[in-house]
């Protein structure tokens, strides 16, 4: 399907190449995905965003995508192919595409490139965008701290990059505020998508008495594994709502008690719109709850009502800008001061975050 699209467009580009672009030409918005759309998580949400673009602009825009593109040399080839075949704007939706995106952007100055979760903008046609997922981690961290019976909460981490470390710190900080006795177990899976391994990681933590787990990987496997505990352990939807795990078949509350949803649609619709009406500019976008890019999915009845109310209050405070999840006092892991009382972290520190906060045991692998 994809290949046929690409070929057809390549042929069209050849025949139309010489003629000046007509106003009626649809804008080609292209997406590079790291996993399959059917992962039910990260890539699924990006694709929802792509569909929202089509929905918003109809015939004025064509969307194209390529799934399961490995990070590395293959990515550069896929992005180049898209640029050659007439894409006007290319969204590369994984951190590992950073260098490939910038390398291809150098060769195609007339094509706009948008790289998700990265920080390199080496050329004027490269923008970066990200969402403040740590805002969501703060809310689920609070819920985790309140709900754990064993006082051990878990985090299935993918790779030791600032994005993940930020999530770990935010999750633990808010769990600790809710429950001073809480202890955090971090397991590094070294993969974004491998359902069997993600399930193994969840199982290892469950076997050791962890009873609330959040995942920073892409599939729903950890929730399925948590579900095997039959109501004594809980988890959260990650990237997508994962609503299938909200209720068990017998009507009892399922393992998913809330979720952090990545809502890329507002950004994608805005950027493609700007490209079409000529107001497009290079940006470094980092939006969160206020802009509707980070959303907490429905909190189920498994969460006590007062905890739900507290979580909702936190969501409201973050959305209105009253509360920033990284507000002092906070110390680094070694006990040195980081943020003073009431001080808020600047974005630069967060985006380069390479340290744990006080109370987390273990080292960040590097």
Partner 1 sequence: MDLSNINPILLVASIMISATPILLAAIGEMVVEKSGVLNLGVEGMMITGAVIGFVVAINTGSPVFGFAIAAVAGAVISLSFGVLTQIFLSNQVATGLGLTLVGLGLSSLIGKPYEGMKTETLPKLDIPILGDLPVVGQMLFSHDIMVYLSLLLVLAVWAFLKYTRFGLILRAVGESHDSAHALGYKVIRVRMAAIMFGGACAGLGGAYLSLVRVPQWTEGMTAGAGWIALAIVVFASWRAGRVLVGAYLFGGITVLQLNLQAAGMTWGVQYLSMSPYVITILVLVLISSNRKKGSHNAPANLGQTFHATR
Give contact residues for partner 1 (rule: CB under 8 A): 35-40, 68, 154, 185-191, 193-197, 199-201, 203-205, 207-210, 219-221, 224-225, 242-244, 249, 361-363, 365
**Least CB distance to partner 1 at residue 190 (A):** 4
**Least CB distance to partner 1 at residue 243 (A):** 8
Cβ closest to partner 1, residue 187 vs residue 345: 187
Cβ closest to partner 1, residue 90 vs residue 185: 185
**Least CB distance to partner 1 at residue 36 (A):** 4
Structure tokens at 236: 């959260």
Task: Check: CB of residue 278 under 8 Å from CB of residue 284.
Answer: no
> How many CB atoms lie under 10 A from the CB of residue 183?
19
Cβ closest to partner 1, residue 224 vs residue 314: 224
Cβ closest to partner 1, residue 23 vs residue 73: 73
DSSP category for residue 253: B
Dihedral of CA 134/135/140/143: which sign? positive
DSSP 258-322: EEEEE--HHHHHHHHHHHHHT-----EEEE-TTTTSEEEEPPPTTS-HHHHHHHHHHHHHHHHTS
**Least CB distance to partner 1 at residue 40 (A):** 6
**Least CB distance to partner 1 at residue 78 (A):** 16
Give dist(CA 169, CA 332) in Å, integer.
10
Structure tokens at 169: 């710190």
* 13 contacts: CB under 8 Å, gap ≥ 6: 84, 85, 86
**Least CB distance to partner 1 at residue 366 (A):** 8
Cβ closest to partner 1, residue 248 vs residue 312: 248
Task: Check: CB of residue 88 under 8 Å from CB of residue 109.
Answer: no
Cβ closest to partner 1, residue 239 vs residue 272: 239
């Amino acid at each position: 399907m994809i290949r046929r699209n690409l070929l057809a467009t390549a042929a069209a580009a050849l025949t139309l190449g010489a003629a000046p672009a007509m106003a009626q030409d649809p804008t080609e918005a292209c997406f590079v995905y790291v996993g399959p759309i059917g992962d039910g998580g990260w890539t699924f949400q990006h694709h929802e965003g792509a569909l929202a673009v089509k929905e918003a602009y109809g015939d004025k825009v064509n969307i194209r995508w390529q799934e399961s593109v490995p990070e590395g040399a293959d990515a550069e080839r896929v992005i180049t192919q898209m640029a050659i075949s007439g894409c006007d704007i290319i969204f590369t939706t994984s951190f590992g595409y950073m260098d490939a995106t910038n390398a291809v952007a150098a060769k195609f100055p007339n094509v706009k490139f948008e790289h998700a979760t990265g920080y390199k903008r080496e050329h004027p046609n490269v923008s970066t965008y990200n969402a403040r997922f740590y805002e969501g981690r703060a809310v689920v961290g609070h819920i985790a701290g309140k709900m754990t019976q064993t006082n051990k909460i878990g985090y299935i981490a993918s790779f030791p990059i600032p994005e993940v470390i930020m999530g770990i710190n935010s999750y633990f900080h808010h769990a600790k505020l809710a429950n001073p006795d809480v202890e955090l177990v971090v397991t590094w899976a070294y993969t974004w998508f491998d359902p069997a391994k993600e399930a193994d990681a969840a199982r290892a933590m469950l076997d050791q008495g962890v009873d609330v787990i959040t995942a920073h990987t892409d599939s729903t496997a950890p929730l399925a594994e948590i579900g095997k505990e039959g109501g004594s352990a809980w988890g959260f939807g990650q990237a997508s709502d994962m609503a299938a795990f909200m209720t068990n078949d017998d009507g009892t509350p399922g393992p998913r008690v809330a979720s952090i949803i990545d809502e890329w649609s507002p950004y994608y619709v805005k950027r493609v719109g700007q490209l079409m009406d000529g107001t497009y500019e290079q940006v470094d976008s980092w939006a969160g709850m206020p802009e509707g890019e980070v959303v907490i999915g429905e909190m189920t009845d498994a969460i006590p009502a007062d905890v739900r109310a507290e979580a909702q209050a936190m969501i409201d405070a973050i959305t209105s800008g009253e509360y920033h999840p990284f507000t002092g006092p906070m110390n680094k892991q070694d006990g040195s001061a980081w943020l003073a009382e009431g001080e808020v972290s600047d974005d630069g520190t967060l985006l380069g975050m390479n340290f744990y906060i006080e109370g987390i045991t273990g080292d960040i692998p590097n």
